[in-house]
Amino acid sequence: MPAAAPDPAPPARSRSVARSLLRLWPYVRPVRVRLALSAVVAVAASCMSLFIPLVLKWLVDGPVTDHDPGGVWLGGGLVLLLGLLEAGLFGVRRWLVARPLAGVEASMRSDLYRHLQRLPVEFHDRWASGQLLSRATMDLQILRMFLAFPLVFLVVNAATVLIGFAILFAQSWLLGLVLLAPVVPLVILCSYFEARYALAARRAQDQAGDLATLIEESVLGIRIIKAFGRHRSQARAFRDQAKGLWSTEMRKARLLADIWAVIMTLPELAIGAALVVGVLQVSDDRLSAGTLVAFLSTALALRWPVESIGFLLAMSNESATAADRYFEVMDTPEADISGAPAEPRADGIRLEGVRFRYPDAPAGTPDQLTGVDLHIRPGETMALVGATGCGKTTLTALLPRLHDATGGRITLDGADIARLPVDRVRELVAVAFEEPTLFSATVRENVAMGAGTQGASEEDVRWALDVAQCDFVQRLPEGLETEVGEQGLSLSGGQRQRLALARAVVGRPQFLVLDDPLSALDVHTEALVEAALREVLRETTALVVAHRPSTVLLADRVALLSGGRITAVGTHTELLHGSAEYRHLMSGAETQDDPQDDPRDDPYEKPRHAHDERREAADLERSEAR
């Protein structure tokens, strides 16, 4: 299995946690009132726990000292009431934020998915699918948890600590200063921890994305893994990546353990010192026993707001990292869909000086296409032939603007596709690729997808299936309503290819691009599909990538792509007699020095096998006999 594409996102670096998290504001703004209200309710709940020590002070200095059972019962009832109020208010806080924050997560996921659909193909070529999947799932869950808990409790705990220390200083300023002693070392240590934890969190989330990519590839490629006995190497690759993620998570755990140890130890030492000083003051009658009990109870009530600093900082850093990863994708510019429709005129497809170079092509290598000039007349079918790697599939990807040409222009009936809205271009141009992709949906839904936004009627779907010779659909368990499964792997390669062809023609497109659409069909089925396809091609302007004479014979004319340019155009017979390179391609003869082997190899095209070449030779003999 090929290695997963690396995450092209920038490496983890020093950045402001607050600035990263502030980018969530547009999503948080609609629920800001509920979030603010939940914070107020949580502060009120925390205040209930701070009032309990005041009741205890009254109990010790009053009813307990005076041996008043009634007062003790009253104090106990007040403590119980405050505890119930605290629990109830925290329950209200959770109710206030649960549904709105689930909506925030859903909105962010929807925006991410919509944005991914509109990003250019070059983006998807660079990014591993697991990285995108982890951003749409794990990272958004982290952000929802941050909004539900750390965001609110950073405010709540800060307010609780301020109110609590005000109460402490009101009871004894000396003991209050003793408790404040650890503040400076805690701030320094937390800053040191935050920087290190942020780097570890980013690394862990990136590694989780890489692991998701490996798992996805292993599941989709399970047939290859089993066929070549590669399960051990895949398991080893999984263990290596999982071990790397485990090591990073352990580093995060050690950092968190260290900061928790410090955060818990220093306040405990301060409380112990305050206890000693307080007892001495009580023994000297400078402090009442009730005041000391209330002071220590308040200090203990403040343990959680102080000790949670490490936990809240860790979650905030992870959330800032998740926000960075989310917006790395969202900040990528979408494909240019601007433009205004031009006045149509019957001019077919024109390519004028079209050049193309992949964005990640190594410096110094030639362009994939170096100046393609071609005119496909209205209603004409043009076959495109060329050696493997010459750029045929790349050229077909330019017509529906899956890639944008880096030079020259392409027009459809006189309209420059660079000036047309992308949606309009893809309404005009239908495509069937050599490697058919089906979705986890019914046969009907997979075929009707080709009709675009206007949809396809029952009659349209059945007509398209007839054209593509998809008679096997009738034998499926539920006919048109049969789920084909992920990637359509429940069907054979030929069946998937025929469904992809049906999807391409169902909308009766004005322009049709077929990339070797019959390569997976047997000879008998191929002849039937060709016969039906001829009828469709009479009504459209088409470009057909062909490797065999049988496919070439579907076309009115043939264009030969070589060296990044169109070097010959003519009928099949004309090129057979006038072009040695064309004869070489059609015969499948092998030579040691193929003139087409150069750095421009098309990454989308796959080498043909020997049985394909033998079949093409037989096709050539039949075509010449005709």
In a domain, 269, yes or no: yes
Which positions ≥6 away from 57 have C-beta within 8 Å?
A: 171, 288, 290, 291, 293, 294
Task: List the CATH number of the domain containing 574.
Answer: 3.40.50.300
Other CB atoms within a 10 A radius of the CB of residue 38 amount to 26
> Residue 346 gets which letter from DSSP?
S
Mean pLDDT over 432-436 rounds to 79
3-state secondary structure of 382: strand
In a domain, 8, yes or no: no
Bridge pairing between strands 381-385 and 557-562:
parallel
In a domain, 444, yes or no: yes
Whether residues 322 and 356 fall in one domain: no
Inform me whether the pLDDT recorded for 12 exceeds 50.
no
The runs of H, that is alpha helices, within 351-442 are: 392-398, 422-428
Whether residues 206 and 295 fall in one domain: yes
The confidence score (pLDDT) of residue 89 equals: 82
CA 242, chain centre distance (Å): 20
Whether residues 357 and 503 fall in one domain: yes
Whether residues 353 and 225 fall in one domain: no
- Residue whose tokens read 């007040």: 78
Q: How confident is the model at residue 345 (pLDDT cuts 50, 70, 90)?
A: low
Q: Report percent pLDDT > 90 for the chain.
A: 8
3-state secondary structure of 607: coil
Inform me whether the pLDDT recorded for 375 exceeds 80.
yes
H or E element: which one contains 247? helix 231-283
Tell me which residue range forms the domain holding 357.
349-625
Whether residues 45 and 78 fall in one domain: yes
Stretch among 46-60, 396-410, 556-570 having the lowest mean pLDDT: 46-60
The confidence score (pLDDT) of residue 393 equals: 87
Task: List the CATH number of the domain containing 270.
Answer: 1.20.1560.10
Give the separation between CA 133 and CA 130, rounded to whole angstroms: 5
Higher-pLDDT residue of 344 and 287 is 287
Is pTM beyond 0.85 here?
A: no
Contact 274, 299 (CB under 8 A): yes
Higher-pLDDT residue of 93 and 373 is 373
Per-chain mean pLDDT for the chain: 80
The runs of H, that is alpha helices, within 380-516 are: 392-398, 422-428, 443-448, 458-467, 493-505
Tens digits of residue pLDDT in 177-213: 887 788 778 777 777 787 788 788 888 888 888 888 8
DSSP 253-314: HHHHHHHHHHHHHHHHHHHHHHHHHHHHHHHTTSS-HHHHHHHHHHHHHTHHHHHHHHHHHH
The confidence score (pLDDT) of residue 566 equals: 92
In a domain, 33, yes or no: yes
Higher-pLDDT residue of 556 and 15 is 556
Whether residues 188 and 233 fall in one domain: yes
Question: Of the candidates 274, 281, 277, which has an alpha carbon nearest to the alpha carbon of residue 296?
Answer: 274
Whether residues 278 and 353 fall in one domain: no
Higher-pLDDT residue of 283 and 524 is 283
Give the separation between CA 485 and CA 428, rounded to whole angstroms: 29
346 CB-side CA count, 13 A: 5
- Residue whose tokens read 């009730």: 290
Contact 493, 434 (CB under 8 A): no
Q: From residue 7, how far is each of 10, 111, 132, 137 by CA, in Å?
A: 8, 21, 9, 16
Whether residues 319 and 364 fall in one domain: no
In a domain, 13, yes or no: no
- Residue whose tokens read 């999982």: 242
The one-letter amino acid code at 511 reads F
Contact 107, 26 (CB under 8 A): no
Most confident of 340-354, 505-519, 611-625: 505-519
Whether residues 290 and 374 fall in one domain: no
Mean pLDDT over 73-87 rounds to 82
Contact 501, 517 (CB under 8 A): yes
Contact 423, 429 (CB under 8 A): no
Which positions ≥6 away from 528 have C-beta within 8 Å?
A: 469
Bridge pairing between strands 369-376 and 349-356:
antiparallel
Contact 414, 342 (CB under 8 A): yes
Give the separation between CA 519 and CA 523, rounded to whole angstroms: 10
In a domain, 341, yes or no: no
Number of domains in the chain: 2
Question: Of the candidates 509, 529, 550, 524, which has an alpha carbon nearest to the alpha carbon of residue 466?
Answer: 529
Copy the structure tokens of residue 224. Answer: 């290859």
The runs of H, that is alpha helices, within 172-230 are: 173-180, 183-220, 222-227
The confidence score (pLDDT) of residue 373 equals: 93
Measured N-to-C along each axis, helices 150-171 and 32-59 cross at an angle, to the nearest 10 degrees, of 30
Question: Of the candidates 393, 318, 310, 303, which has an alpha carbon nearest to the alpha carbon of residue 356?
Answer: 393
Whether residues 253 and 390 fall in one domain: no
Instruction: Give 3-state DSSP helix, strand, coil % of the chain, rounded to 5.
Output: 65, 10, 25
In a domain, 14, yes or no: no
Whether residues 380 and 433 fall in one domain: yes
The confidence score (pLDDT) of residue 614 equals: 43
Q: Which of 330, 363, 397 is the last residue of a domain?
A: 330
> Residue 483 gets which letter from DSSP?
B
Question: Of the candidates 296, 264, 305, which has an alpha carbon nearest to the alpha carbon of residue 162?
Answer: 305
Inform me whether the pLDDT recorded for 610 exceeds 50.
no
Whether residues 429 and 507 fall in one domain: yes
Tens digits of residue pLDDT in 401-430: 888 888 999 999 888 888 888 888 888 888
Q: How confident is the model at residue 590 (pLDDT cuts 50, 70, 90)?
A: very low
In a domain, 2, yes or no: no
Handedness of CA 559, 561, 564, 567 (dihedral sign): negative
What are the backbone dihedrals phi and psi of residue 220, each rounded to the nearest 5 degrees, phi first?
-70, -30
Give the separation between CA 508 and CA 454, rounded to whole angstroms: 12
